[in-house]
């Protein structure tokens, strides 16, 4: 009698086997660094713009890719009203601002138009921005990620060559939970984590008194627990917020500001990781 075994047919096994992805590099740059955090509103975009401008200030050629399709921040934070041009009808040229090459979905739609898109459309937009933009001769592209661990993060982790990710968080318990999820996601997807940044770390009054509004040293502790590098603390600072809203990031507006110096120190640490 035939011995029958219960199991998956070869054809079905083929369908359910883990998919292997080809990682495409973004042409026109040597390195790609993503700025991420699983939680929203912790200062990823503010960090990404000022960090990119700090890398520029220490001599690198830099681009910023705004990967937040539902909530692009780059046009407002970098003060860009221009639309990208296409010479050949196939690729788009990034918009130059403060010596940095920039691309955002926000360049292509009105400021108050909502992007009512399902996941596959977002993935397709990300592929266009990484493959069809004529990034030119850059050392670094800084990718400003949306919050969460969704389609955009997965597309970058699986299908695009990302050389490293910087995780930004506030030191608050509820934000740290998301940081741990973020660390586990990037570890699982084998994207190197370059380090963690503690944003809105504390508030310092004019008299020099420090207030730990969101808690103390939380991000540094998570970095230690997960054996990741701790890159630094950025305090809550009104000049940083005003500069972001005015369209000229603080690092560009006031390079000697104490907060700009912190960004520069982080840029120098990242430089060490690459060169």
- Residues making contact with ligand ATP (CB under 6 A): 40-46, 68, 71, 73, 146-147, 199-200, 234, 236-237, 240-241, 244
CA angle 225, 155, 106 (to 5 degrees): 105
Q: By C-beta, is 69 or 236 nearer to ligand ATP?
A: 236
Answer with the entry of ligand ATP, Mg ion, none that 46 interacts with (C-beta below 5 to 8 A by kind). ligand ATP
- Alpha helices by DSSP H, listed for the chain, are 10-16, 44-57, 74-77, 119-131, 151-159, 173-188, 218-225, 238-246, 250-253, 258-274
CA dist 214 → 49, 170, 209, 268 (Å): 23, 7, 15, 27
Let me know the angle formed at the C-alpha of 244 by 239 and 250, rounded to the nearest 5 degrees.
Answer: 55
Decide: helix, strand or coil at residue 250: helix
How many Å apart are CA 272 and CA 259, to the nearest integer?
A: 20
Binding mask 8-47 for Mg ion (x = CB under 5 A): ------------------------------------xx--
CB of 45 to Mg ion, least distance (A): 3
How far apart are alpha carbons 26 and 5 in whole angstroms? 47
Residue closer to Mg ion, measured from CB, 44 or 228: 44
Question: Closest separation between CB of residue 18 and ligand ATP, Å?
Answer: 30
Query: Which one, 134 or 168, has the nearer CB to ligand ATP?
Result: 168
Which of the choices Mg ion, ligand ATP, none does residue 266 contact, using the CB cut-off of 5 to 8 A by kind? none
Contacts with Mg ion, 55-84, as mask; x by CB under 5 A: ------------------x-----------
4 SS3 class: coil
CA neighbor of 125 nearest in space, from 85, 152, 158, 94: 152
In the bound state with Mg ion, the residue whose beta carbon lies nearer, of 47 and 202, is 47
- In the complex with Mg ion, which residue's Cβ is closer, 45 or 169? 45
Task: Count other Cβ atoms within 10 Å, centred on residue 60.
Answer: 19
- Smallest distance, Å, CB 71 to ligand ATP? 5
| Nearest residue (CB) to Mg ion, 134 versus 141 | 141
- Which residues contact Mg ion (rule: CB under 5 A)? 44-45, 73
């Amino acid at each position: 009698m035939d011995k029958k075994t219960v199991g998956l047919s070869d054809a079905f096994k083929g369908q359910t086997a883990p998919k292997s992805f080809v990682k495409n590099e973004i042409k026109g740059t040597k390195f790609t660094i993503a700025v991420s955090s699983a939680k929203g509103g912790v200062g990823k975009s503010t960090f990404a713009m000022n960090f990119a401008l700090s890398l520029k200030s220490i001599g690198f050629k830099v681009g910023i890719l705004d990967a937040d399709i539902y909530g692009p921040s780059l046009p407002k934070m970098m003060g860009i009203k221009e639309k990208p041009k296409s010479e050949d009808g196939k690729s788009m040229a990034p918009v130059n601002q403060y010596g940095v090459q920039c691309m955002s979905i926000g360049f292509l739609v009105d400021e108050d138009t909502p992007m009512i898109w399902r996941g596959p459309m977002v993935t397709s937009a990300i592929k266009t921005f990484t493959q069809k933009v004529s990034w030119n001769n850059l050392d670094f592209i800084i990718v400003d990620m949306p919050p969460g661990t969704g389609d955009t993060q997965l597309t970058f982790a699986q299908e695009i060559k990302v050389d490293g990710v910087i995780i930004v968080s506030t030191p608050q318990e509820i934000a740290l939970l998301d940081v741990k999820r973020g660390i586990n996601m990037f570890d699982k997807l084998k994207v190197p984590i370059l380090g963690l940044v503690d944003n809105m770390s504390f508030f310092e009054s004019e008299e020099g008194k420090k207030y730990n509004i969101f808690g103390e040293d939380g991000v540094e502790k998570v970095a230690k627990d997960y054996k990741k590098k701790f890159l630094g603390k950025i305090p809550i600072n009104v000049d940083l917020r005003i500069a972001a809203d005015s369209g000229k990031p603080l690092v560009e507006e006031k390079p000697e500001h104490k907060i700009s110096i912190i960004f520069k120190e982080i840029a120098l640490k990242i430089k060490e990781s690459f060169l």
